[in-house]
Amino acid sequence: METQKKVLIAIDYNTNATKIVDIAYSFAKAMKAEITLVHVVENEVYYTSFITSPITGIVDFDSATFYQYMNSESLISAANYYLDKIKKHLKDSKVHTIVERGNFADVILSTAKDLKVDLIIMGSHSQKWLEQVLIGSTTEKVLNHTQIPLLIIPTKRKK
């Protein structure tokens, strides 16, 4: 008896998240795999940084104002809400969701290992050089530290 395949799809708040989810979901469904979406909350500073802009869809709401209303628990609640919206977008109630705190790459790696997934799928964003220096490349770290196959979906905009 063949065991069911498992796929972990790592999702952030990037504006290309829907593209990543749609491609990853199609791929996982073609494999007839059990699907888990994971979002990692690293810390409040990341979500309010002037270097990064992970919170999308908020107009005329500056980082300083945003920061005074945010804390770890509200970030977790927002992430759960976000993954629930993605699950509804996919129209698949069997999709599992996980929100974890920690380092982006470390949590993706440990979650994949704990769930014994057969494939990790994530996007690769073109990052500004300063962001690259400060936080490094999550995709690169996952790639260099896993034995699990990794599908990377590029999201860099065409010029």
Per-residue pLDDT tens digits of the chain, which is 159 residues long: 568 899 999 998 777 888 899 999 999 999 999 999 999 988 666 655 544 444 443 334 344 544 554 666 778 888 888 899 899 999 999 999 999 999 999 999 999 999 999 999 998 765 555 445 444 478 888 888 999 999 988 876 555
- Strand, coil or helix: 109: helix
Question: Which residue(s) pair with 10 in the sheet?
Answer: 38
| Structure token digits, residue 11 | 């999702």
Query: What values do phi and psi take at 104, rounded to 5?
Result: -50, -60
